[in-house]
Structures are given as C-alpha cells and as structure tokens.
Chain A
Amino acid sequence: MFQLNNLKYKSILNIDYLTIPQGKVTCIIGESGSGKTTLLRLLNKMISPDGGTIHHNGTPLQEMDSVELRRRVVMLPQAPAIFPGTVKDNLLIGLKFSEKPLVSDDQLNQTLQMVSLKKELDQKADKLSGGEKQRLALGRVILMEPDIFLLDEPSSALDESTEDLIIKKLVDYCTEKSKSLIMVTHSKRIATTFGEHIIEIKNGEIV
C-alpha cells in the first residue's frame, strides 16, 4: 500500500526501504524523538521528504493532490485538537472539512459508544478532560470512514483497560470494513497484542 525508497527527512528520518501492507494493522514503535510522528506526517503529505520517494498503491505521493490524499488517509495527531463548539460540532467537523455528507445523531451516538465516551452531543467540547478529548478526536476520525487510519498514540491519555477496549474495537472495525490501520504507539503490549505488522524505528532508521 505504501512503499518508501531511500527516504530522507532533515536529520530526523533516513529510511532505505519500507513497505506497509494494505488492510492490516501496522504498529510503529520506538523511543520518543525517533521519528515515528514524522513518518506518519510524511504518509499523508503534511510534510514532504527532502529526498527519496513514497509510493501509494504504485503512484508517487508528489503526483497526488494533498487534500484528496488526506481525505482518504486521515491522520489523528497525538495532542487532540478541539474546535470551538459542542461535542456534535467536533464530531462533524471532519466530515465538513473533507466535504463528505453529514450523518444523523444516532450515528454520532454510536460512534461515541464505540470510543467509550459517555457524553451528550450538545455538551461543550472544551470542558472535556484530556482523555475524553482524545476519544472525541478519535471518534471524529472514525466517522470519516477513511481507507487508511494514521493514528499517533491514540490511547496515550487513557488508562490500560480503556486503552485495550478502544483499540480492540477499532481493530475489529478495521478488520470488518477491510480498512488499513497504521498506529504509532509507545506501548509494546499494544503493538504485540494487536499489530499484524510491526515497524520499529530507532534514531530515524528502521530496525
């Protein structure tokens, strides 16, 4: 699905060759500062490499329209961004940004359930706790039903049991809908439990 060749980004990443398979759960692990987030950002063209190429299903990324790509390859940043407004506004904003049709409140509530967030849709979103915001941001991304999820530490602010629960649901969802999931995680446990394909990065290189 993704193929990287001789990739260089500043002094952060230096990858000779890497492939990421389609329809699988890929976990990226490594110490902080090793370049995991940078790798994710390269995959949806939030940044462009200084050298080398990234191919997506055979097409070089530089030939693809960034906005179109990001609508299919959606990234969830590590620090959740909450936009002004309610929980509902925040769930729908991804669909609005990507110009996709909006969904019913029922569907929004189902998504909240999927990310184990017991909140009313009309509640103000900025009042949520860190972990709740993280789950809200995840719910927003799930609603967009992208082909590929790029998740940067999606469960970093959650306790272990909630973490397991949510990642399990997410992995099941992806398997069922044959979506690809690429997830940066600090937790070896999560990676070994759920990862079908594990990439370890050390000092910007693939181990």
Chain B
Amino acid sequence: MKGIIELQMWQMISAYLFIVLLLFIVRFKKIPREKEILIGTIRMSLQLVVTGYVLVYLFDNVNPIFTIIVIAVMETFAIFNIFKRSKSTISQKLKLVIAFSMVVGTMSSLFYFLLVVVRLTPWYDPQYFIPLAGMLVGNSMTGISLGVSRLVDGMQDQRHLVETALMLGATPKEASKSIVNNAFDSAILPTINSMVGMGIVFLPGMMTGQILSGVSPVTAIQYQIAIMLGIVGSVSLTVILFVQLGYRTFFNQEHQLVLEEN
C-alpha cells in the first residue's frame, strides 16, 4: 500500500481550473452566480488552509484544553447555524432546547464512541477526537435543522387540530404527537437513506480519505461502519431530545397552546 501523493503547487493550481471552467459556463449561460462561486471558492480555500494549520498545531501540541476549545467552537457554530438556517421564527425557549439537545446528544455519543468503541488514550487525542467530533456534530446539526422546521411549521399549520385535541381533553403530549413523530421522522430520514446507499451509490468521505492515505480498505471500512453507527446514534439521540423537550415549549403550565405570532 503506497502513502498518499503530495500535491505540488502547480497541481493545486490545476485543480482550480475546474472553477475557471465553471465560471466560463455560467458567464456563457448568463447565470448570475459568478460572485457566489468566487466567494465560495475563496472562503472554502481560506477556511481549509487555516484549519489545516490549526490542526497541525494541535497535533503537535496535544493538550486537553485545546481539544475542549475546539469542540466548544464546533458546537457553537453548529447551534448558531441551526438558528440561522431556520426559516420559521424560533422562540427563545426552543433555542435553549436546541442548544441543550445538541450538546448533550452529540457529546454523550462522542464520548461513548471514543472511550468504548475506539478506546482512545488519552481521550483528548486531537487526531481522533476532532475529526470524529466533526462528523457527529455536523450530522446531528443537519438532522436537528430538519426537525426544527417540521416541528415549528407543524405547530403553526396544524394549530387548529392541536387546539381541538386540547379541547377534547388531550394532554399536550397527545395533542402534538403526530407533529412530533413527523419531525423525528424527517430529521433522521437523511441519515437512514445515506446508510442505505453507502458503499454502492457513493463511498463515504472518511473511508475515501483513509484509503487515499494508504490505509487498507478493510480497516477503512471498519472505521466507516463504526462511525456510521455512531452518527445514527448521535443524530437519533439529539433529535429525540430535541422533539421531546421541544414540543413542550409550545405549551404553558396551564396546558394551553402558546404560539409566537410572526
């Protein structure tokens, strides 16, 4: 098994030719997206270069404080990204629920994965901790984002059914059951779908990366299976926490439906 081919400067530059090609196409087709493509490319390049150097520094200076700072930054970005991505208004209480579910859901899955499955020592070894944390946090973020919009929109759109259920003596839990189940369902569906297509429709990124760097495909697959199970666990845990705590924010102590007016 060979190690990875290091890319030289001119090889990197030649990769950017794809973007130049894309720019030609959009100009020719008169699609007004040149600015976005340029900004996207530049941001991607800068962010990755900086991250690369940060990771090199972290790997050379292994320290639990640094690892904790990295995970804190990741969680914060993920949580604010969920707020930003939501098209519906999210109440202050629901924002707290989102933050709580993200932190508790992803962290418990991550530590289970690192300490029980991988048996990492020290637990804060950034070479494992950071990439694995990124995958769990990233996938959970996508899941919760879908769940948030289904839950908030469901409560708004089906307000009449929820209120009628309350009038018929339902508990808030019963009254919002179908909305909650629907939100959970739509939040975990992409993860389930990606498991179904995995290995046939596409080779997952982590596995591809390991194979490129010279790791045996068998080892790469072991890791991929394990991380996929970790992702499913993390997404489900995060989303179940979110929907179970989240629906309550739409009701007050008197079991009345409270919706923020848009």
Which residues in A have some Cβ–Cβ distance to B below 8 Å? 44-48, 62, 66-67, 70-71, 74-77, 79, 81, 83, 93-94, 96-99, 140-141, 144
Contact = CB atoms under 8 A, between A and B. Distances in A.
Contacts of B170: 67, 97-98
Interface string B152-171: 00000000110111111111
B169 A71 contact: yes
B164 A70 contact: no
Interface of B is mostly: helix
Given A77-B163, A79-B160, A81-B160, A140 B168 contact: yes
A77 B167 contact: yes
B42 to A, nearest CB: 49
5 contacts: A67-B171, A77-B167, A79-B160, A93-B165, A97-B174
A79 B159 CA distance: 12
A94 B171 CA distance: 12
A75 B167 contact: yes
A145 to B, nearest CB: 12
Interface in B159-207: 160-161, 163-171, 174-175
Contacts of B254: 45, 48, 62, 66
Contacts of A45: 254-256
B256 A46 contact: yes
Interface of B: 160-161, 163-171, 174-175, 254-256
Given A47-B256, A66-B256, A97-B174, A144 B168 contact: yes
A75 B165 CA distance: 10
Closest 10 CB pairs of A and B: A98-B169, A71-B169, A97-B170, A81-B164, A66-B255, A75-B167, A94-B168, A97-B168, A70-B169, A66-B254
Point out which of B164, B167, B174 has the most chain A C-beta atoms below 10 A from its C-beta.
B167
Contacts of A77: 160, 163-164, 167
B161 A94 contact: no
B125 to A, nearest CB: 51
Contacts of B160: 77, 79, 81
Given A46-B256, A66-B256, A70-B166, A81 B171 contact: no
A81 B166 contact: no
B167 A70 contact: yes
A74 B94 CA distance: 30
Nearest to B252: A48
A195 B256 CA distance: 30
Contacts of A76: 167
Nearest to B175: A97
